[in-house]
C-alpha cells in the first residue's frame, strides 16, 4: 500500500513539484522527474532532493519522435501515477491509452471554466467572484477529464493577472499533494479503462473542494 511510484512531468519552474516533494507522506515516492526543457528550474529542484531526472528536449525532436521517446521513458519507469505539473506538451493518444486512468494534471482554473491558456485573464474579464485550481484525470480531450479536486479562492476588487496567478499557485501547492496522496493511499480510485472517481472514504467529499 505504501510508496506508490510517481513520475512528475514538468517544463518550467516546478513550484508544484516542490510542494509534492515537500509533502510529508509515506504513500508516494517520486521515482523520476521528466522535463521537455533542459533549462527547467524544476530539474534543479529534483536534483536538490536527490530525485533522478530525465530530459527529452522538445526543441531537438520532431513531435512524433518526442512522443515516442516520452512513451518509451514512461514505460521503462513503470509508474503507478504520472503527475503533470506545468508540463507544456499535450500528451499524445498512445501515452494516454497506455496509462489510461493513471495520469493527472493540475489546471489553473475552476474547470470546466477556462480550459487552455490565460485562465486568470479570462476569470477577471468575466468578472467572476471565484477562481482557483483543479486537479483532473488526463483524457484525450484537453482539460476535460474527470475532476478529482478543486481549490477555490475569492477574487478581490484589486486583483490583477499577476496577483491571481500568485494566489492560484499557493492554492495549487495545498491541493495537488493532497490529491496525489489520496490517490496513492487509495482513498480515491480511478478505474483503468474509464477514469472515474470512486468515493471510498465516507469523510471525503469528492471532488474535494478547498475554500481559501
* Nearest distance, CB of residue 193 and ligand GRF, angstroms: 25
107 is catalytic: yes
Instruction: Name which of 116 and 201 has its Cβ closer to ligand GRF.
Output: 116
Minimum CB separation of residue 99 from ligand GRF in Å reads 18
- Residue (15 or 27) nearer to ligand GRF, CB: 15
**What gap in Å lies between CA 91 and CA 8, rounded to an integer?**
13
| Closer residue to ligand GRF in complex, CB, 122/169 | 169
Q: Which is nearer to ligand GRF, 38 or 72 (CB)?
A: 38
Question: 107, 131, 136, 173: which is the annotated catalytic residue?
Answer: 107
Q: Which residues bind ligand GRF (CB under 6 A)?
A: 12-16, 85-86, 106-108, 133, 169, 172
Rg for the chain (alpha carbons), in Å?
A: 17
Min dist. Cβ of residue 194 to ligand GRF (A): 24
Residue 191 beta carbon to ligand GRF: minimum distance, rounded to whole angstroms: 24
The CB-nearest residue to ligand GRF is 86
Active site residues: 107
Amino acid at each position: 500500500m505504501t510508496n506508490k511510484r510517481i513520475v512528475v512531468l514538468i517544463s518550467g519552474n516546478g513550484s508544484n513539484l516542490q510542494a509534492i516533494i515537500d509533502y510529508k507522506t509515506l504513500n508516494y515516492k517520486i521515482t523520476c522527474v521528466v522535463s521537455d526543457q533542459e533549462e527547467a528550474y524544476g530539474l534543479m529542484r529534483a536534483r536538490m532532493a536527490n530525485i533522478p531526472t530525465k530530459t527529452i528536449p522538445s526543441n531537438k525532436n520532431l513531435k512524433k519522435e518526442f512522443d515516442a521517446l516520452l512513451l518509451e521513458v514512461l514505460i521503462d519507469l513503470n509508474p503507478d501515477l504520472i503527475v503533470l505539473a506545468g508540463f507544456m506538451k499535450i500528451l499524445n493518444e498512445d501515452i494516454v491509452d497506455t496509462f489510461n486512468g493513471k495520469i493527472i494534471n493540475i489546471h489553473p482554473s475552476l474547470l470546466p471554466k477556462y480550459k487552455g491558456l490565460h485562465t486568470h485573464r479570462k476569470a477577471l474579464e468575466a468578472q467572476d467572484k471565484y477562481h482557483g485550481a483543479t486537479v483532473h484525470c488526463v483524457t484525450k480531450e484537453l482539460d476535460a477529464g474527470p475532476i478529482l479536486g478543486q481549490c477555490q479562492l475569492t477574487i478581490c476588487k484589486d486583483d490583477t493577472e499577476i496577483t491571481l496567478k500568485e494566489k492560484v499557485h499557493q492554492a495549487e501547492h495545498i491541493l495537488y499533494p493532497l490529491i496525489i496522496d489520496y490517490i496513492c493511499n487509495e482513498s480515491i480510485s480511478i478505474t483503468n479503462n474509464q477514469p472515474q472517481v470512486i468515493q471510498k472514504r465516507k469523510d471525503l467529499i469528492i471532488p474535494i473542494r478547498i475554500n481559501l
